[in-house]
Amino acid sequence: MSTRPLPTRKEEAWRYSDVEAAARLWPVAIRRHAVGPGEALVQEIVLDADNDAIEDHEVAIGAGGRAEFRVLVAGSGFGRVFVKARLAENAHFELAGAIVGGGRQVGEIVTRIGHDAPGGTSRQLVRAVLAGRATGNYLGKVAVARDAQRSDGSQSVKAMLVEPGATANLKPELEIYADDVKCAHGASIGALDSDALFYLASRGVGEAEAKALLLRGFVAEAFAGIEDEAARERLSALADAAVARIV
């Protein structure tokens, strides 16, 4: 394991971060993973404690290999997960992530995915629910090298602001040098649907319960695609509990 220099907000990956909190945790060890050809890696990261925390991961995925990261950032302070991945030929990277914050929490997921060879695929799906004066950040970059033809990458990022004091900074980014690729990204920030709240109220559901139901359904999208049922249910339950704390 190795460490990086102390960051500043001049760095794009730290533009919206709580660098003062990061300084208290520095140095942060980089956790390196090597996925051999045809092998698979599953990494589950849950930051939901009362203390500040940073996880920094780098993964090299060999030809035909697969790496899946499942991430929940829902602690009461500063929580940051950084993942850097390099994809060999026909390799696959998957990230299912959720950020749930209230108070003055800062939660963030930052990714740097490099498609270095032909046929690589990557999927990133992140949902954020933010209340109080919390901040949720997603900064994800997918870079496709000149020789990485037939690459396929997608980023879907959505945030729900429960209260007007909350902030979401969402920046999916593509850097493409190959010409035969299929890449897409999208980001949106919104509030709870007033029509849906009215519908639930008309059926006797209280305001707090109605908000919680809608928010739990929204954040559940992050983990809906996980094939491992036990893992999906465990992460969804942790996200539900985090939502209950801020509604």
Per-position pLDDT tens, the chain of length 247: 556 788 898 898 999 999 999 999 999 999 999 999 999 999 999 999 888 999 999 999 999 999 999 999 998 899 999 999 999 999 999 999 999 999 999 999 999 999 999 999 999 999 999 999 999 999 999 999 999 999 999 999 999 999 999 999 999 999 999 999 999 999 999 887 677 766 677 777 777 778 878 889 999 999 999 999 999 999 999 999 999 998 8
The pLDDT of residue 2: 55
DSSP letter assigned to residue 13: G
Q: Compute CA distances 8 → 12, 14, 26, 54, 56, whole Å.
A: 9, 7, 12, 15, 16
Q: Nearest-CA neighbor of 58 among 31, 92, 95?
A: 31
- Quote the pLDDT of residue 69: 98
If you search the block for the tokens 């971060």, which residue do you land on? Answer: 17
Q: At what angle do helices 207-220 and 194-202 cross, to 10 degrees?
A: 130
* Calpha distance 92→120 (Å, rounded): 6
pLDDT for the residue numbered 160: 94
10: helix, strand or coil: coil
Q: Can you tell me the distance from the alpha carbon of 65 to that of 90, in angstroms, rounded to the nearest whole number?
A: 7
Report DSSP letters for 170-206, one per residue. Answer: EEEEEEE--SSEEEEEEEEEE---HHHHHHHHHTT--
∠ CA 133-99-77, rounded to 5°:
55
pLDDT score recorded for residue 222? 95
Q: How far from 79 is each of 13, 51, 100, 139, 247, CA to CA, in Å?
A: 14, 9, 10, 14, 20
